[in-house]
Amino acid sequence: MELKNIEEIKNIISAVNKGSIAEELSIEVGDILLSINDKKIEDIIEYKFFIADEYLEVEIQKKDGEIYIYEIEKEYDEDLGIEFINPIIDRAKSCRNKCIFCFIDQLPKGMRETLYFKDDDSRLSFLQGNFITLTNMSEDDIQKMIKYRISPVNISVHTTDPNLRVKMLNNKNAGKLYDIMKRLADAGIEMNAQIVLCPDVNDKENLQRTLNDLSKLYPHVRSVAVVPIGLTKYREGLFEAKIYDHDSSSEVINFIHEFQKKKLNDIGTRFVFLSDEFYVMAKKDIPSYESYEGFAQIENGVGLICKFEREIDDYLKKTFVKLKKQKTVSIATGKSAYEFIKSVSLKVMNNVENLKINVYNIKNEYFGETITVSGLITATDIINQLKDIELGDKLIIPRAMLKSDEEIFLDNITLDELQERLDIKIDAAKNEGADFVKKLIK
């Protein structure tokens, strides 16, 4: 059999894990997975579903075009130990919506090319935790989610009012959401929900309705995160949206806390959680560690400050360091985290002799100063605001400023390039307390 044109091939193997079944069978990088138990594999969900069996017949095409069928007996759910060039095997589905709050529509030109792709793929939700709208799913797609038990899945809800959701997403199919979610719940699919809250659009009475509707699907809808709309300065021709301020954030907090109390009494969980930005804008205390109930929506910035501080406190309880000589470290962070980072830096200095920490609030001039989170700070702003400052022995930045799998900023400047421009060693610290402290003292 002739080797197909590589552009037409989805299932090219990119890695074989050491000690895996695939390595034992001499399956190699560059080989192509054709089928499992005579079933052609169209995407990663089908792959994971079919390899769960204890007996497999795996059809592999080698780089020279020869085809082999491997008979495999294994433990149920044991993986074969292979990865693919395309993680989901199939082409990712793009978003067809034109949401009034879409951040990608507010990006300037010249950023990393991948940032301009809007994904809306249930497979990426399952594998990577991405949020999807369910607007571009056919009936076959929904049946596939149910058949292959794609769970948990993260859903961008925003509102359960069908007419309002159509307007917010600018998609005529957006109003079908709640009916689809009920079908998924009936099938035992677990879901986490996200609401991007827009002042005078989907808040107040509409937020009450949305949360009431979603809580009826508990425990299949496990949690809801509420995050504020983010507006850059690049909104020409887009919906005239408002942003949250001190007073409006306080109103949202009061409403959500009352709702949490009721749900905690009714179903044993607070169910809905606010992102940290609301508390920062309202200048209110972050809730207790226990009130986040395991931090199910940490990737949405829900409880990040609380969890980070607890981890630092726990690490410092068993750590007291005296550095051999005086050391000065600088930290670059965004406006939202600035006061918090200053406070935890003081804790670290109290436990580490001869360490001085300077914290710098990087204003987001690239996107506009209404964007205050650290993860959206660019290298351009860091350079412009720190280039004439004596930063000491090294600079610490949050790892969230960089691409997840590469040391490159949103504006296409690499970490190495930033180090050269500022002429200083730079460490990227994870959102983990222990890693943050270690980066400061090492």
pLDDT one-digit tens code per residue, 2-34 = 334 443 456 888 889 999 999 999 999 999 988
Clarify whether residues 355 and 402 are in a common domain: yes
The answer to the question of residue 33 being in a domain is yes
User: Omega into 152 within 30° of 0, i.e. cis?
Assistant: yes
CATH code of the domain covering residue 75? 2.30.42.10
pLDDT in tens, 190-227: 999 999 999 999 999 999 999 999 999 999 999 999 99
The answer to the question of residue 183 being in a domain is yes
pLDDT over 60 (residue 122): no
Strand 39-40 and strand 32-36: the pairing is: antiparallel
pLDDT over 80 (residue 422): yes
pLDDT in tens, 246-284: 999 999 999 999 999 999 999 999 999 999 999 999 999
Clarify whether residues 355 and 281 are in a common domain: no
Clarify whether residues 117 and 221 are in a common domain: yes
Helix segments in 285-425, DSSP class H:
304-317, 335-351, 379-386, 415-422
Tokens of 210: 């949305």
Nearest to residue 137, comparing CAs of 115, 153, 160?
153
CA distance 267 to 143: 30
Nearest to residue 280, comparing CAs of 302, 312, 255, 310?
302
In this prediction, residue 310 has a pLDDT band, given cuts at 50, 70 and 90, of very high
**Backbone torsions φ then ψ of 399, nearest 5 degrees:** -60, -25
**Distance between first and last Cα of the chain:** 57
**Single residue among 56, 84, 112 that ends a domain in this structure:** 84
The answer to the question of residue 3 being in a domain is no
The answer to the question of residue 98 being in a domain is no
Residue 357 belongs to domain spanning: 309-441
Identify the residue whose tokens are 């596939």: 144
Average pLDDT taken over every residue of the chain = 88
Three-class SS state of 351: helix
Clarify whether residues 416 and 274 are in a common domain: no
For residue 429, the surrounding DSSP H or E stretch is strand 425-429
pLDDT in tens, 157-168: 999 999 999 999
In this prediction, residue 46 has a pLDDT band, given cuts at 50, 70 and 90, of confident
Tokens of 268: 């044993």
Clarify whether residues 214 and 168 are in a common domain: yes
The answer to the question of residue 2 being in a domain is no
SS (H, E, C) 114-141: HHHCCECCHHHHHHHCCEECCCCCCHHH
pTM for the structure as a whole: 0.80
Tokens of 35: 């089928």
Three-class SS state of 1: coil
The total number of structural domains that make up the chain:
3
pLDDT of residue 90: 43
pLDDT in tens, 55-74: 999 999 998 889 999 999 98
CATH code of the domain covering residue 279? 3.80.30.10
> Are the C-beta atoms of 202 and 158 separated by less than 8 Å?
yes
The answer to the question of residue 96 being in a domain is no
pLDDT of residue 149: 81
pLDDT of residue 126: 40
The answer to the question of residue 425 being in a domain is yes
Choice between 105 and 201, residue whose per-residue pLDDT is larger: 201
CA distance 180 to 196: 20
Identify the residue whose tokens are 């200083």: 424
How many CB atoms sit inside 10 A of residue 217's CB? 18
Of all residues in the chain, the percent with pLDDT exceeding 70 is 91
Clarify whether residues 124 and 73 are in a common domain: no
pLDDT over 70 (residue 174): yes
Of all residues in the chain, the percent with pLDDT exceeding 90 is 67
Clarify whether residues 294 and 379 are in a common domain: no
Clarify whether residues 24 and 154 are in a common domain: no
The answer to the question of residue 93 being in a domain is no
pLDDT of residue 201: 97
Instruction: Mark 326-346 as b/e (b = at least 16 C-beta within 10 Å).
Output: ebebbbbbbbbbbebbeebbe
For residue 58, the surrounding DSSP H or E stretch is strand 55-61
In this prediction, residue 116 has a pLDDT band, given cuts at 50, 70 and 90, of low
Clarify whether residues 67 and 120 are in a common domain: no
Identify the residue whose tokens are 């009450």: 208
**Single residue among 258, 282, 301 that ends a domain in this structure:** 301
In terms of C-beta density within 10 A (0-12 exposed, 13-18 middle, 19 or more buried), how is residue 292 classed? buried
**Backbone torsions φ then ψ of 222, nearest 5 degrees:** -85, -35
**Single residue among 257, 284, 301 that ends a domain in this structure:** 301
| Strands of the 425-429 sheet, one edge to the other | 352-361, 321-333, 394-398, 425-429
Lowest mean pLDDT among 4-8, 183-187, 289-293: 4-8
pLDDT of residue 4: 40
CA distance 386 to 336: 18
| Strands of the 131-132 sheet, one edge to the other | 131-132, 153-156, 191-197, 221-228, 272-274
The most confident of the ranges 7-11, 49-53, 133-137, 347-351 is 347-351
Average pLDDT of 134-150? 82
Clarify whether residues 246 and 347 are in a common domain: no
CA distance 207 to 226: 10
Angle at 251 between CA 245 and CA 254, to 5 degrees: 135
In this prediction, residue 352 has a pLDDT band, given cuts at 50, 70 and 90, of very high
Clarify whether residues 40 and 116 are in a common domain: no
pLDDT in tens, 366-398: 999 999 999 999 999 999 999 999 999 999 999
Clarify whether residues 314 and 297 are in a common domain: no
Cα 85 to Cα 13, 15, 17, 88, 372: the distances in Å are: 6, 8, 14, 9, 35
Q: Which amino acid is at 205?
A: E
In terms of C-beta density within 10 A (0-12 exposed, 13-18 middle, 19 or more buried), how is residue 436 classed? buried
